[in-house]
């Protein structure tokens, strides 16, 4: 059989006797515990009725996803911090010499090309998802397993390169937006809101840059790596990262477009 | 004229300085209560710890969780709540309400590395200030704007003189970096943050000279950023203020 | 702290050369290795360097405080700004590079996988990257000493505007930039290593290692890692903003019309320094719990181990660990009661801080109850664990005092605070580290045990000197002595009258502090002697029950290989018979006739 038929989120293995084993259990005489609260990882693998072993690819896949989850959790805290500063700065003012309260927040007019960029990024997310799905198509899995070339890699590589293209397009678009602002003499240090426009867009662009690096890496793996499971993990993780960055951008865009 | 006030034994035991402010006694009471409780608990805990070291007998796992864990825990929770409530009432008394309208207005300005104190003068209003005008060298340390008439009679001094027994409303400002305005004998502390004004009100009671320290690291001169608080009996204070206003009439606010 | 390759007898000259090459090769392999043990040792090396430097700095600080005109050899008198630089670097080194690196990343890498019955960590390569990032951060930080104007003077909390403008003082130029850069690197490294730890805990627990059976040490590491992931990202954001303020002309933390050193900072938006305080302390308070949570977990397990009892109220211990972590996120404002924060907010943060005292108390009670009347075997690790409890109480009980805004108004930024955090963080944390070192040494040094005799001397000396050093700081603080004062002489008359009394205290602290540092030499002597001696203890010398002591957990080829027997867990930790004579380790398959004991 091929290594992975379906990613775990589509078909969950049965999880027998959840709550049998607890603190009080000192394992005396009983059948070794097969408590499944330990989240898909090893326990019970050797005697339980879960289909694959600990080093099984499904395990590796979910490990990568968990790691990504925590990493992105931290990353989101980073943006939460920036955004909360955004709202504070927006609402804060100062007292002038005549002790009048001045709120000198003048919104930066967002270049309309950002709408286009956003659309591009959303499309790229779709193509990325297509790539991810294609990594798990049983049809092709079978073909490859039987030895009919590597249809999976071919199809996924296609979708991934499209994503790569669209992603680079997005970055180019952002560049154009910065150019347009610069043409209007709106720079990072122009005023409070321009700080944030550049801060948020640039930090996000950096993240997308990493995403693009990941895409390239995934493409290389698709071409080089023999182990199917490794390729699946690489594509899967990259694509989830890409999705999150897309969603994050939508939030940032709404923030910059409507909440200034 | 140093303050000649006997320090109560309890304060001396804990190395606390005299307290010369109206709210000081209540604060000290709370502080001492806390300190004694903490001391007692540390002692008790160490009796128990050394007990475990000493006792060479092993008892069976004693009474169950409730008496050993949850009961004491509840007691501690009650203790912490009791202390918080007491502390909160004092905090609210000092901070939730502003100063009385008839309180003496003084503006405190911190800058690397000195304190300046401004009295509003006869017209009872502070003149406008502009940061770019700040210049101790030219005798305008807080940057009073010359073309604001209110500023003409303002009195700026490098030491804080206050009347005993009258409430004072301090307005804290900082020119450059954050400074910490602190008068240990008045049990007062409040940071002066550039870009915003803090209000702090209290009532000095015992006449005497007290130290004003900077308690927020603000640069290489942090340790020598001190000033003098002189609390005078009401009558003397009025005389002093009157005299200062005379001077101010000649040459507007330069410190001395 | 590298695995020793002595005790090969006296090799022939050729053999010697061979040995030499072998050793060099070994070092080289250790450097590129992605095995968690090598990485763990790497982290410990980092923090040992940091702790030694930090200690030397603290000596310089102490001597200067007592004899302000003392000439530092090869340097001359210590100027006020240099004193502040010392304090800043001391705090940064000790808090970040010692107490964050060693317990969490160091022992986390060395022991955590074994305690889970895992043979590897989730992301070995990332793990190595994180370690080298941290090492880089240390180097960058130390460079700050050697740039013009020297290291930053704004304290480890780096409040702007002092930290936001090179005008504000010496060390606020390149020095502060390097500090920022170093901490940014540290944040990235810390986050990566935390992600690796978390994934390992969630995914790589061996068969039967269910959540309720996970040792409290791991719960400590887990909570600390969760806090790291949250807090370091926020600090990174704050550092980025501060950097923008310094170099890109923004003003997130700079108010309008800030007039530093008779220069009016260019007109900008209206930022607020308080914003930095909020961001920093949102990180800062979790940070101090990151420093202590692993120690708490280890203390619990070690006390249970040597009291031969199940840790009292085990479940509650898990809950309180998580609760401390959770509440730790909500209390940051207690560092800002008098910093210009809204007094109502002050009350709210006070309440949260008081709340966090309750789980902490629960832990103390459980520690004491576990050891109480158990006739514990008083080995050095046990002593250090009990010392941890003692110091945690002595330092922790002043926490709730500081958490009362009205009292903090008097105590804020005095030596009372310095005493508080040196007892509960510095000393308790260091005791946690020593406990770990003495306890796990057989696993780390091929079965060698550190000398108990030297160890006991080391313990009692360190404990007594720790108290004689830091308890008097409470009194100094109560007398009103502020932090960050480079000297107490030459003040105006009332200040002299006020702080004069603390001079003697300071002198005493200096003496004790230096002695305390010197006492640590016993540890290093012990280390060297033991590493040289060929004597080996048997497996599991402490009769421990947790997985890391299972036979053949550690004597494996450093490259993880599949054919090793898969580990399995059959019960929770610390299963001792009621009389403490016999015990059932976690890895022991169930006996045929049910020997029912436990909770
Ligand atoms: C881990 C934290 C830690 C540790 C261990 C120490 C240790 C010491 N500290 Fe420090 N200190 C801080 C954290 C720490 N400090 C912080 C955060 C500040 C605030 C900085 C700021 O305000 O910006 C501070 C500030 C500070 C001040 C205040 C300065 C001021 O505000 O004016 C003083 C003054 O005396 C001081 C003194 C000392 C002394 C004498 C020691 C002595 O105890 C030193 C003796 C050393 C040891 C006992 C440790 C030996 C341990 C090992 C060798 C472990 C090795 C083992 C392994 C790695 C496995 N420290
Ligand atoms: C490991 C680090 C650590 C830990 C665990 C703590 C624990 C606590 N800290 Fe501390 N704290 C610091 C490190 C730490 N702190 C540092 C580094 C600073 C200074 C930062 C700076 O300004 O540079 C600081 C400063 C600090 C302040 C600000 C002081 C000021 O600047 O004005 C406050 C205020 O609320 C505070 C509160 C607390 C509280 C309520 C706890 C609680 O968690 C304490 C809980 C513990 C207990 C309550 C003890 C339990 C024991 C008992 C109850 C005894 C039981 C008795 C028997 C069984 C008989 N801390
Ligand atoms: Cu001003 Cu310190
Ligand atoms: Cu705190």
Same structural domain for residues B166 and B145?
A: yes
Same structural domain for residues B215 and B125?
A: yes
> Which residue in A54, A59, A189 is closest to C248 by CB distance?
A189
Here the tokens at position A69 are 């989850």
Same structural domain for residues A29 and A81?
A: no
Structural domain harbouring B49 = 2-96
| Residues paired with residue A85 on neighbouring β-strands, in sequence order | none
More confident residue, C247 or C536: C247
> Which residue in B80, B94, B221 is closest to C400 by CB distance?
B80
How do the domains of chain C map onto residue ranges?
Answer: 32-555+564-584
Same structural domain for residues B235 and B130?
A: yes
The reply to whether B75 falls in a domain is: yes
Q: Which residues line ligand 1 at a C-beta cut-off of 6 Å?
A: C 44, 47-48, 51, 55, 58, 61-62, 87-88, 90-91, 94-95, 98-99, 102, 155-156, 418, 422, 425-426, 429-430, 433, 437, 469, 483-485, 513, 516-517, 520
Same structural domain for residues A43 and A139?
A: no
Pairing of strands B208-214, B179-183: antiparallel
pLDDT at C546 over 70: yes
Determine if the peptide bond prior to B113 is cis (ω within 30°): yes
* Chain A 67-96, residues with CB within 8 Å of chain B CB atoms: 94-95
The reply to whether A177 falls in a domain is: yes
Residues C36, C51: Cα–Cα separation, whole Å:
22
User: Please, what is the angle between helix C107-115 and helix C36-66, to 10°?
Assistant: 140
Atom 8 (ligand 1) nearest CA: C58
Q: List pLDDT tens digits, range A70-106.
A: 999 999 999 999 999 888 888 776 666 666 677 777 7
The reply to whether B44 falls in a domain is: yes
Same structural domain for residues B127 and B200?
A: yes
Q: How many domains does chain A have?
A: 2
> Which option is the CATH number for C32-555+564-584: 1.20.210.10, 3.40.720.10, 3.40.50.720, 1.10.8.10?
1.20.210.10
Determine if the peptide bond prior to B15 is cis (ω within 30°): no
What's the pLDDT at B145?
A: 82
| Residues paired with residue B171 on neighbouring β-strands, in sequence order | B107, B199
| Residue in chain C nearest B72 by alpha carbon | C365
Cα B135 from chain centre: 27
- Average of pLDDT values for B78-83? 95
CA of C392 relative to ligand 2 center, distance in Å: 9
Percentage of chain C with pLDDT > 90? 60
Residues A245, A120: Cα–Cα separation, whole Å:
13
Same structural domain for residues B91 and B135?
A: no
User: Which of A134-138, B43-47, C77-81 shows the highest mean pLDDT?
Assistant: B43-47
Last residue of a domain, one of B44, B74, B96: B96
pLDDT at C77 over 90: no
Percentage of chain C with pLDDT > 70? 92
What's the pLDDT at A40?
A: 35
The reply to whether B255 falls in a domain is: no
Structural domain harbouring A16 = 8-49
Average pLDDT, chain C: 88
Q: List pLDDT tens digits, range C558-567.
A: 455 445 566 7
Confidence label for A6 from pLDDT (cuts 50, 70 and 90): very low
What's the pLDDT at A110?
A: 83
The reply to whether A3 falls in a domain is: no
- Average of pLDDT values for C293-311? 92
More confident residue, B228 or A108: B228
Q: What is the 3-state secondary structure (H, E, C) of chain A?
A: CCCCCCCCCCCCCCCCCCCCCCCCCCCCCCCCCCCCCCCCCCCCCCCCCCCCCCCCHHHHHHHHHHHHHHHHHHHHHHHHHHHHHHHHHHHCCEECCCCCEECCCCCCCCCCHHHHHHHHHHHHHHHHHHHHHHHCCHHHHHHHHHCCCCHHHHHHHHHHHHHHHHHHHHHHHHHHHHHHHHHCCCCCCCCHHHHHHHHHHHHHHHHHHHHHHHHHHHHHHHHHCCCHHHHHHHHHHHHHHHHHHHHHHHHHHHHHHHCC
pLDDT at A17 over 90: no
| Residue in chain B nearest C169 by alpha carbon | B219
Confidence label for C259 from pLDDT (cuts 50, 70 and 90): confident
Q: How many CB atoms lie within 10 A of CB A145?
A: 13
Q: List pLDDT tens digits, range B81-98.
A: 999 999 999 999 999 988
The reply to whether B256 falls in a domain is: no
The reply to whether A162 falls in a domain is: yes
Residues C354, C351: Cα–Cα separation, whole Å:
5
Atom 1 (ligand 3) nearest CA: B179
Pairing of strands B160-163, B227-232: parallel
pLDDT at A166 over 70: yes
Q: Which of C90, C96, C435 to mutate to test the pocket of ligand 1 (most atoms within 8 A of CB)?
A: C90
User: Which of C179-193, C269-283, C374-388 shows the highest mean pLDDT?
Assistant: C179-193
Same structural domain for residues A45 and A105?
A: no
Confidence label for B148 from pLDDT (cuts 50, 70 and 90): confident
pLDDT at C483 over 90: yes
Same structural domain for residues B114 and B208?
A: yes
Q: With an 8 Å Cβ cutoff, are C275 and A88 in contact?
A: yes
What's the pLDDT at C53?
A: 96
More confident residue, C141 or B251: C141
Residue of C250, C257, C599 to mutate, testing the A interface (most A Cβ within 10 Å of its Cβ): C250
Here the tokens at position C189 are 């490294």
pLDDT at C126 over 70: yes
pLDDT at C296 over 70: yes
- Average of pLDDT values for C366-383? 89
B130 contacts in A (CB within 8 Å)?
97
Residues whose beta carbons lie less than 5 angstroms from ion ligand 4: C 285
Range with lowest mean pLDDT among B41-50, B175-184, C439-448: C439-448
The helix or strand, by DSSP H or E, that contains position A60, with its residue range, turns out to be: helix A57-91
Same structural domain for residues A102 and A230?
A: yes
3-state DSSP assignment of residue B223: helix
More confident residue, B105 or A16: B105
Contacts of A241 (CB under 8 A, 6+ apart): A68, A72, A210, A211, A214
Q: Kindly report the nearest CA distance between residue A101 and chain B, in angstroms.
A: 11
Range with lowest mean pLDDT among A161-170, B22-31, B239-248, C280-289: B239-248
Last residue of a domain, one of B69, B96, B123: B96
Residues C26, C14: Cα–Cα separation, whole Å:
18
Confidence label for A137 from pLDDT (cuts 50, 70 and 90): confident
More confident residue, B8 or C46: C46
Range with lowest mean pLDDT among A135-149, B35-49, C112-126, C205-219: A135-149
Confidence label for C556 from pLDDT (cuts 50, 70 and 90): low
Phi, psi of C172 (to 5 degrees): -90, 0
User: Is residue C359 in contact with ligand 2, taking CB distance under 6 Å?
Assistant: no
Contacts of A223 (CB under 8 A, 6+ apart): A153, A157
Same structural domain for residues B113 and B165?
A: yes
Q: How many domains does chain B have?
A: 2
Here the tokens at position C58 are 């603290």
What's the pLDDT at C596?
A: 47
What's the pLDDT at A23?
A: 37
Q: Which residue has the tokens 């009650």?
A: B78
What's the pLDDT at C13?
A: 53
CA of C60 relative to ligand 2 center, distance in Å: 26
Q: List pLDDT tens digits, range B163-173.
A: 999 999 999 99
Residues C457, C329: Cα–Cα separation, whole Å:
39
The reply to whether B92 falls in a domain is: yes
The answer to whether residues C189 and C133 touch, using CB atoms and an 8 Å cutoff, is: yes
The answer to whether residues C281 and C333 touch, using CB atoms and an 8 Å cutoff, is: yes
What's the pLDDT at B61?
A: 63
Same structural domain for residues A135 and A207?
A: yes
The reply to whether A221 falls in a domain is: yes
Confidence label for C555 from pLDDT (cuts 50, 70 and 90): low
Same structural domain for residues B168 and B236?
A: yes
Average pLDDT, chain B: 87
Q: List pLDDT tens digits, range C96-109.
A: 999 999 999 999 99
Residues A240, A171: Cα–Cα separation, whole Å:
19
Atom 46 (ligand 2) nearest CA: C396
Confidence label for C539 from pLDDT (cuts 50, 70 and 90): confident
Same structural domain for residues B136 and B242?
A: yes
> Which residue in C199, C568, C572 is closest to A23 by CB distance?
C572
CA nearest to C378, candidates C460, C440, C297, C287: C460
What's the pLDDT at C31?
A: 72
Ligand 3 atom having least distance to the Cα of C484: 2
pLDDT at A38 over 80: no
- Average of pLDDT values for C312-324? 92
Last residue of a domain, one of B47, B79, B96: B96
Cα B202 from chain centre: 9
Q: List pLDDT tens digits, range C206-251.
A: 888 888 889 999 999 999 999 999 999 999 999 999 999 999 888 8
pLDDT at B238 over 70: yes
Same structural domain for residues B92 and B108?
A: no
Same structural domain for residues A23 and A79?
A: no
Same structural domain for residues A63 and A37?
A: no
Find the CATH number of the domain harbouring A88.
Answer: 1.20.120.80
pLDDT at C5 over 50: no
Q: Kindly report the nearest CA distance between residue B237 and chain A, in angstroms.
A: 30
């Amino acid at each position: 059989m091929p290594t992975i038929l379906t990613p775990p989120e589509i078909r969950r293995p049965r999880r027998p006797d959840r709550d049998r084993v607890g603190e009080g259990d000192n394992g005396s005489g009983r059948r070794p515990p097969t408590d499944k609260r330990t989240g898909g990882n090893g326990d019970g693998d050797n005697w339980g009725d879960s289909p694959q072993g600990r080093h099984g690819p499904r395990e590796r896949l979910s490990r990568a996803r968990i790691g990504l989850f925590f990493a992105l959790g931290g990353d989101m805290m980073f943006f939460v911090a920036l955004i909360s500063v955004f709202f504070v700065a927006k609402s804060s003012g100062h007292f002038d010499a005549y002790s009048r309260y001045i709120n000198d927040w003048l919104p930066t007019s967002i270049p309309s090309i950002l709408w286009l960029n956003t659309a591009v990024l959303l499309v790229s997310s779709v193509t990325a998802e297509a790539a991810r799905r294609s990594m798990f198509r049983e049809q092709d899995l079978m073909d490859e397993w039987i030895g009919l070339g590597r249809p999976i890699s071919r199809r996924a590589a296609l979708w991934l390169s499209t994503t790569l293209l669209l992603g680079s397009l997005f970055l180019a678009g952002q560049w154009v937006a910065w150019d347009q602002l610069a043409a209007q003499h709106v720079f990072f240090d122009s005023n409070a809101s321009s700080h944030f426009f550049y801060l948020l867009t640039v930090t996000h662009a950096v993240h997308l840059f990493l995403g693009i690096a990941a895409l390239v890496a995934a493409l290389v793996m698709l071409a080089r790596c023999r182990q199917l499971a490794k390729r699946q993990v690489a594509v899967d993780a990259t694509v989830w990262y890409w999705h999150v960055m897309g969603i994050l951008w939508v939030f940032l865009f709404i923030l910059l477009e409507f909440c200034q | 004229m140093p303050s000649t006030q006997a320090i109560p034994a309890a304060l001396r035991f804990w190395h606390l300085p005299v307290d010369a402010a109206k709210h000081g006694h209540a604060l000290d009471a709370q502080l001492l209560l806390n300190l004694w409780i903490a001391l007692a608990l540390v002692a008790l805990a160490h009796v128990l710890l050394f007990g475990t070291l000493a006792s060479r007998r092993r008892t069976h796992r004693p009474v169950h969780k409730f008496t050993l864990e949850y009961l004491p825990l509840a007691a501690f929770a009650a203790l912490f709540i009791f202390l918080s409530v007491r502390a909160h009432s004092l905090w609210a008394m000092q901070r939730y309400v502003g100063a009385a309208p008839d309180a003496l207005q003084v503006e405190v300005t911190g800058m690397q590395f000195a304190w300046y104190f401004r009295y509003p003068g006869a017209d009872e209003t502070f003149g406008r200030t502009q940061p770019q005008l700040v210049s101790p060298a030219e005798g305008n340390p807080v940057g009073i704007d010359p073309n604001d008439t209110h500023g003409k009679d303002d009195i700026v001094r490098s030491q804080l003189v206050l009347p005993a027994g009258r409430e004072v409303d301090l307005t804290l400002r900082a020119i450059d970096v954050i400074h910490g305005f602190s008068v240990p004998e008045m049990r007062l502390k409040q940071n002066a943050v550039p870009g915003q004004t803090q209000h702090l009100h209290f009532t000095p009671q015992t006449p005497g000279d007290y130290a004003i320290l900077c308690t927020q690291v603000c640069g290489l001169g942090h340790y020598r950023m001190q000033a003098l608080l002189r609390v005078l009996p009401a009558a003397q204070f009025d005389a002093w203020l009157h005299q200062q206003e005379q001077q101010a009439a000649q040459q507007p606010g330069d410190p001395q | 702290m590298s695995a020793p390759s002595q005790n090969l007898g006296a090799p022939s000259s050729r053999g010697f050369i061979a040995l030499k090459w072998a050793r060099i090769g070994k070092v080289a392999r250790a450097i590129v290795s992605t095995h968690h043990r090598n990485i763990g040792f790497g982290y410990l090396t980092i923090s040992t360097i940091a702790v030694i430097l930090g200690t030397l700095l603290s000596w310089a600080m102490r001597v200067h405080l007592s004899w302000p005109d003392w000439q530092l050899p090869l340097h001359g008198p210590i100027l006020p700004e240099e004193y502040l630089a010392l304090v800043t670097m001391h705090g940064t080194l000790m808090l970040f590079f010692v107490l964050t690196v060693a317990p969490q990343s160091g022992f986390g890498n060395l022991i955590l996988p074994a305690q889970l019955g895992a043979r590897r960590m989730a992301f070995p390569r990332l793990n190595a990257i994180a370690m080298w990032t941290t090492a880089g951060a240390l180097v960058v930080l130390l460079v700050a000493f050697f740039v013009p104007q020297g290291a930053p003077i704004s304290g480890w909390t780096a409040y702007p505007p002092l930290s936001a403008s090179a005008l504000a003082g010496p060390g606020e130029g390149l020095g502060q930039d390097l500090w920022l850069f170093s901490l940014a690197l540290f944040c990235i490294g810390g986050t990566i290593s935390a992600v690796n730890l978390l994934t390992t805990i969630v995914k790589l627990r061996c068969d039967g290692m269910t959540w309720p059976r996970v040792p409290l040490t791991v719960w400590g590491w887990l909570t600390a890692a969760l806090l790291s992931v949250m807090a370091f990202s926020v600090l990174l954001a704050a550092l980025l903003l501060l950097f923008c303020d310094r170099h890109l002309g923004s003003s997130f933390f700079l108010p309008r019309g800030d007039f530093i050193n008779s220069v009016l900072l260019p007109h900008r938006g209206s930022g607020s320094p308080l914003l930095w305080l909020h961001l920093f302390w949102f990180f800062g308070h979790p940070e101090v719990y990151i420093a202590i949570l692993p120690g708490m977990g280890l203390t619990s397990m070690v006390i249970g181990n040597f009291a031969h009892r199940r840790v009292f109220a085990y479940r509650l211990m898990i809950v309180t660990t998580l609760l401390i972590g959770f509440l730790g996120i909500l209390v940051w404002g207690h560092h800002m009661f008098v910093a210009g924060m809204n007094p109502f907010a002050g009350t709210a943060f006070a309440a949260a801080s008081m709340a966090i005292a309750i789980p902490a108390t629960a832990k103390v009670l459980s520690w004491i109850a576990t050891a109480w009347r158990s006739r514990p075997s008083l080995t050095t690790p046990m002593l250090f664990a009990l010392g941890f409890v003692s110091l945690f109480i002595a330092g922790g009980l002043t926490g709730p005092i500081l958490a009362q805004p009205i009292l903090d108004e008097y105590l804020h930024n005095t030596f009372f605070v310095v005493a508080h955090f040196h007892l509960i963080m510095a000393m308790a944390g260091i005791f946690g580290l020593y406990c770990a070192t003495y306890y796990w040494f057989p696993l780390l040094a091929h079965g060698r045990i550190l000398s108990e005799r030297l160890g006991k001397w080391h313990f009692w000396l360190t404990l007594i000197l720790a108290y004689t050093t830091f308890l008097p700081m409470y009194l100094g603080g109560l007398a009103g002595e502020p932090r960050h004062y480079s000297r107490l002489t030459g003040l105006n008359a009332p200040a002299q009258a006020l702080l004069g009394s603390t001079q003697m205290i300071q002198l005493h602290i200096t003496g004790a502090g230096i002695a305390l540092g010197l006492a640590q030499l016993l540890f290093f002597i012990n280390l060297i002697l033991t590493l040289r001696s060929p004597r080996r203890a048997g497996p599991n010398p402490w009769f421990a029950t947790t997985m890391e002591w299972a036979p053949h957990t550690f004597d494996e080829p450093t490259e993880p290989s599949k054919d090793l027997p898969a580990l399995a867990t059959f019960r929770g930790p610390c299963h001792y018979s009621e009389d403490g004579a016999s015990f059932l380790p976690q890895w022991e398959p169930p006996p045929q006739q049910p020997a029912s004991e436990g909770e």
